[in-house]
Structure 1
Amino acid sequence: MATAEVPMIELQGVTKQFVKPSGEIHTVLRNINLKVGKGEFCSIVGPTGCGKSTTLSLIAGFEAPTVGQVQIQNKLLDGINSRAVCVFQSENAFPWKTVIDNVSLSLRLKGIKKDKAYAEARHWIEKVGLKGFEGHYPHQLSGGMRKRVALAQCLITQPEILLMDESFSALDVHTRSLMENELLNIWEETRASVIFITHDLEEAIALSDRVIVLTAGPGATIKGDYPIHLTRPRNVSEIRFEPGFMQLHEQIWNDLRDEVMTSYAHAIRA
């Protein structure tokens, strides 16, 4: 009898609470149960303030659950998740270092010799479409190019888990589309497990194998878990015009819209 594959990421009955300055307990997430398989691309959507970034922090090991546990391939996560890397909305390149120095830095810090680290950095710089810009500094690059540097910085470590928090939201629509396709191309090769946080439902559907919808906070829970059965490989600009895409968008938006309106009503009353 075949055994079920062990999930790469599993949240078991996770609740996360914080203490406000007033001393009041604020519950961000409540009883989250989520499994993400090895090599699966999973997006999380929900209204502002529902706990999407907190979920990412729990998987990264930046925060510990108040109740429940996070497991990485059946092992309890206790501290920083060494098998994951994060790509945030903000840039993380050192302005006084060149592209190749920024990308190779994590290998150099591990004690890898400069020539070997540079060779690996050149490979990933080319992968993200920046060949020829190795000697440039961040201020000499466009926003989209700096985002490519950030992606190369993460991918050079060959992570098993890639955590992305609104990573492309600051880009213009054309650059964003290019970066989404670049991400899919690289993911097809590396097959890291991806948790992708976004406010853009179209982006979530275009990229993902699954889309998770969180309810409005406080005490957000999982409202919907939608498999995305669209063909791969995908072009994110073209896939949006397929009938299957539009049907999924309507179905998921019906769930998400109610939570957005609930969140908006809470904000007005606050």
Structure 2
Amino acid sequence: MGALEQKVYTPMTHSTPAMMELQGVTKEFIKPSGEIHTVLRNINIRIPKGEFVSIVGPTGCGKSTTLSLIAGFEAPSMGQVLISGEKLEGVNSRAACVFQTENAFPWKTVIDNVSLGLRLRGVKKADAYDEARKWITRVGLKGFEGHYPSQLSGGMRKRVALAQCLIVQPEILLMDESFSALDVHTRHLMEDELLRIWEETSASVFFITHDLEEAISLSDRVIVLTAGPGATIKGDYRIDLPRPRNVSEIRFDPAFMKLHEQIWNDLRNEVMISYASANKTNH
């Protein structure tokens, strides 16, 4: 079947344990009023090792909650999260996170920030610095080892954040709107940088974005969530575009445009439902 003939994508590697798997996951919170608020309902996602998956959906649909469940910051109310076939209990030690906000310590230099993860794992300072220098070079910051975050541009700080996470060689990279605060040109540079480094590793990536073009440009799969509360999976699309990709150029590919139209038809309906619900609540 072609990329557009099959709406729900089933990985080819079902015979092996998935790197990440959500089985029948429901997540509820108790409101101050005592009411139960269901964020996610019966979510089933299976992500093989090395796959790049993006998740999109209207505001408030539970994208960040899904990431928190995989990170182990939250526990599901029902169902389970499996990492390499084992039930996740507590924080996911195999995962590293890159958030929208800065996670560099402002009083530490670039090399101190980047080497911190290794130092916390007991690596000697000299060895951690040696490895940090390699990653600083890989993300294009050679020569900035002694700079502080306040002396760097937004894009450069984001490169530091990537190096901070990737130096510990995580099996899972969790990214929540990681590039949304950047200007469009810097954003495209960072997206290309991410793809280049990801293709050199075997990390599985779970990427949250509001930008459907970004999701398609980067990913092997794009998952669409319905409007909340009680969000479910509406579509799971295989992005069968050639790699390596240039995110600026791939958007002009006819196959990209066709995928964008199809997924947007799904997403637009959910955005309108969410918008109507928000307006109803505010009146």
The alignment's TM-score, normalised by the length of structure 2, stands at: 0.94
- Residues 1:257 and 2:265 aligned together: no
Per the alignment, residue 103 of structure 1 pairs with: 114
- Give the secondary structure class of the aligned counterpart of 2:182: coil
Matches of 2:136 and 2:16 in 1, distance apart? 33
Task: Quote the Cα distance in structure 2 between the aligned partners of 1:183 and 1:191.
Answer: 13
The answer to whether 1:29 aligns with 2:6 is no
Deviation per residue, 1:141-197 (Å, 9 max, x gap)? 000000000000000000000000000000000000000000000000012000000
Equivalenced residues, count: 269
Q: Indicate the SS of the match to 1:89.
A: coil
Partner Cα distance (2:277, 2:53) in 1: 28
Distance 2:239 2:56 in 1: 14
Partners of 1:209 and 1:93 in 2: CA distance? 29
Deviation (angstroms), 1:110: 1.7
RMSD between superposed Cα atoms in Å: 0.9
- Distance in 2 between residues matched to 1:107 and 1:7, nearest whole Å: 27
Q: Distance in 2 between matches of 1:164 and 1:3?
A: 25
Q: Structure 1 CA distance, aligned partners of 2:121 and 2:21?
A: 29
- Alignment CA distance shift 1:30-1:3 (3 Å): closer
- Residue 139 of structure 1, aligned match among 139, 145, 150: 150
Letter in 2 for 1:227: R
Measure the CA separation in 2 of the matches of 1:96 and 1:87: 19
User: In structure 2, what is the Cα distance between the partners aligned to 1:5 and 1:173?
Assistant: 39
Cα distance between partner residues in 2 of 1:33 and 1:117: 39
Alignment of 1:112-131 (within 5 A): 112-131=123-142
In structure 1, the residue corresponding to 2:68 is in which secondary structure?
Answer: helix
Please, which runs of 5 or more residues in structure 2 have no aligned partner? 1-12
Identity level (%) = 80
Could you tell me how far apart the structure 2 residues matched to 1:5 and 1:209 are?
18
Letter of the 1:44 counterpart: I
Distance in 1 (CA, whole Å) between partners of 2:96 and 2:28 is 24
Aligned counterpart in structure 1 of residue 193 of structure 2, from 153, 163, 182 = 182
Q: Does 1:154 align with 2:165?
A: yes
What's 2:82 paired with? 71
Structure 1 residues 226 and 114: alpha-carbon distance in aligned structure 2, compared to 1, 3 A threshold: same
1: CA distance, partners of 2:260 / 2:98: 26
Q: Mean Cα displacement is larger for which, 104-113 or 30-39?
A: 104-113
User: Is the deviation greater in 40-49 or in 105-114?
Assistant: 105-114
d(CA) in 1 for partners of 2:17, 2:89: 19
* Aligned twin of 2:247: 236
Residues 3, 217 of structure 1: CA spacing in aligned structure 2 closer, same or farther, 3 A cutoff?
closer
| Structure 1 residues 145 and 195: alpha-carbon distance in aligned structure 2, compared to 1, 3 A threshold | same
CA drift at 1:3? 7.5
CA offset at residue 77 of structure 1? Answer: 0.2
Q: Which amino acid aligns with 2:246?
A: N
Q: Which amino acid aligns with 1:224?
A: G
In 1, the alpha carbon distance for the partners of 2:235 and 2:118 equals 40
Distance 1:74 1:143 in 2: 38
Moved over 6 A (4+): none
| Whole-angstrom distance in 2 between the partners of 1:48 and 1:111 | 40
SS of the aligned residue for 2:79 comes to: strand
Counterpart amino acid of 1:247? K
User: In structure 2, what is the equivalent of residue 13 of structure 1?
Assistant: 24
Structure-1-length-normalised TM-score: 0.99
Q: Which moved more, 1:3-12 or 1:215-224?
A: 3-12
Structure 1, unpaired ranges of 5+: none
Question: What is the letter of the counterpart of residue 58 of structure 1?
Answer: L
- 1:47-96 Cα shifts (integer Å, max 9, x gaps): 00000000000000000000000000110000000000000000010111
**CA distance in structure 1 between the aligned counterparts of 2:121 and 2:17, rounded to whole angstroms:** 29
